[in-house]
Structure 1
């Protein structure tokens, strides 16, 4: 018969980590339950901004403007990809989800509650995409998380792999030359705004007349 001393025990650090893991699992399940109770389309969406991931949520007027644009340009049976702009997912899905496919490509795994419409995305590996998603989206709407040429270049690579028609990109005004060079997009009059005002001037770029939809 084995001694009690032979029974493996967890260190305090490992035990605390295990508790955190189970707490996170329970939190995710609670979110899933709430979403499933309302067809997964409730809340905008419970998650706070994570500034370490350079997350800054749009204000409501900006969200509704993008919903209007997407609803106007995506035909029945169409496909929309949202890259690094997770707070647009629920409002756009609510508006057109009954007639079109909406996919969210996002690094923050909290949003995997939207699976199978959620695709994990890391701009550092811009080619790592589901093969069925390549050249399959009628509209790609992207908001690269960082104001750097490297981030924009890699995200642009992803956009080119996904898009078969229309593109909208949001980024700092300082990135205009790079946006035009990498994606041949034009500056829009429409300016996205955020719930927490950003110090950097923010701009919207597209390859179609986005402004005429919002007039």
Structure 2
């Protein structure tokens, strides 16, 4: 315990930040050299110790298309702990050009800081500890995938979701969280079944708070 406790945390130098950015950018290339696209789903290996399970390419594409449809061409999309959706959004952006919404990834895994200004470090245990530039209710669409199936985790992620969203929410989590998702965010269970590149033991579902084709 030092006498500096309570002061602002020390800031990294520009050189240190640049070195970190280079390290994380290299990690994207080292993991899957068969992929020339750093935004490809699976370009970075899952780290199961952080409860990372990437969506299948089909699911990532379906959820990204859903986000684009409901955010609008000039909208903003927040991806909370959902890097697969963010990656697919970046691929769709390259296809659509200016006719595509922007996207930001809120993620605990700092390897994704290689994505630059569109990466925001996010720790669900501190749900409102976000940079000043993240303005409340500034995202037209929020897609979230809490890392753990627990009331504590979903309750805290819900605080972040409600802080970020203007209105529309897409949540992906276990079927056992249905009642809590409805209670916390007014979400309804969809009939669409999201899938992962590696099968999960728990039944996984998605939920929305708006009219969607995912519901039927």
Moved over 6 A (4+): none
Q: How far apart are residue 30 of structure 1 and its match?
A: 3.1
State how far apart, in whole Å, the 2-side matches of 1:188 and 1:33 are: 36
SS of residue in 1 equivalent to 2:198: coil
Q: 1:167: which partner in 2?
A: 169
Q: How far apart are residue 73 of structure 1 and its match?
A: 1.2
Q: How many residues align?
A: 189
Structure 1 contact 189–211 (Cα < 8 Å) conserved? no
Q: 1:151: which partner in 2?
A: 153
Structure 2 contact 78–143 (Cα < 8 Å) conserved? yes
Higher share of residues assigned helix: 1
Structure 1 contact 185–206 (Cα < 8 Å) conserved? yes
State how far apart, in whole Å, the 1-side matches of 2:118 and 2:58 are: 24
Structure 2 contact 21–113 (Cα < 8 Å) conserved? no
Q: 1:74: which partner in 2?
A: 71
Match status 1:64 vs 2:61 = yes
Larger radius of gyration: 1
Structure-2 change in CA distance of 1:207 and 1:160 (3 Å): same
Match status 1:85 vs 2:82 = yes
Q: Which moved more, 1:70-79 or 1:140-149?
A: 70-79
State how far apart, in whole Å, the 2-side matches of 1:40 and 1:101 are: 18
Superposition RMSD on alpha carbons, in Å? 2.6
> CA-to-partner distance for each residue in 1:116-146, whole Å, 9 max, x for gaps?
0000000000011133421100000000000
* Gaps in structure 2 of 5+ consecutive residues: 1-19, 31-35
State how far apart, in whole Å, the 2-side matches of 1:93 and 1:131 are: 24
> Pick from 28, 31, 52: which aligns with 2:24?
28
Match status 1:96 vs 2:93 = yes
Query: What TM-score do you get using the length of structure 1 for normalisation?
Result: 0.79
Structure-2 change in CA distance of 1:198 and 1:76 (3 Å): same
Q: 1:14: which partner in 2?
A: none
